[in-house]
Amino acid sequence: MRITLARLALPLVAFALFAAGPARAASEKFETQLKGGDEVPANDTSGKGKVEASYDPGTMKLTYTVTYSGLTGPATAAHFHGPAKPGENAGPVITLSGSLDSPIKGEATLTAAQAKDLESGMWYLNVHTGAHPSGEIRGQLMKK
């Protein structure tokens, strides 16, 4: 019985590919500063905040932390909106749920279209209050 090198190598290559698993892209980091001047229309609140987010293209999961202070009152809602360029408004894409006290932490699984808009800089986050029901502070998410 004659075994060629190619016949020995094929199972080893197949095992190596199986063991390696699917290729994963590195997580992408996004952030923004939240301020009243970025709302449309702008307002003169002294409130401010920050969003730090991470998107994993392999799982399509967005993980985020929103911190803020100095709002005119308690947060009544917070959303990721898009697609929109800075200075434009768009509908909510993801509504932040649970406690809206700072910090707000959460995660969401995105669709392919949502991921494309996020990666293209077409998402913003805003935090709403009773005094500013359309949004008190806002910021456009950008890749770090």
State the pLDDT at residue 2.
57
Q: State yes or no: pLDDT of 15 exceeds 90.
A: no
pTM, two decimals, is 0.82
**Is 1.10.3470 the CATH number for 25-143?**
no
The pLDDT tens digits for 32-81 are: 999 999 999 999 999 999 999 999 999 999 999 999 999 999 999 999 99
**Of 60, 92, 97, 62, whose CA–CA distance to 79 is shortest?**
92
**pLDDT tens string 90-144:** 999 999 999 999 999 999 999 999 999 999 999 999 999 999 999 999 999 999 9
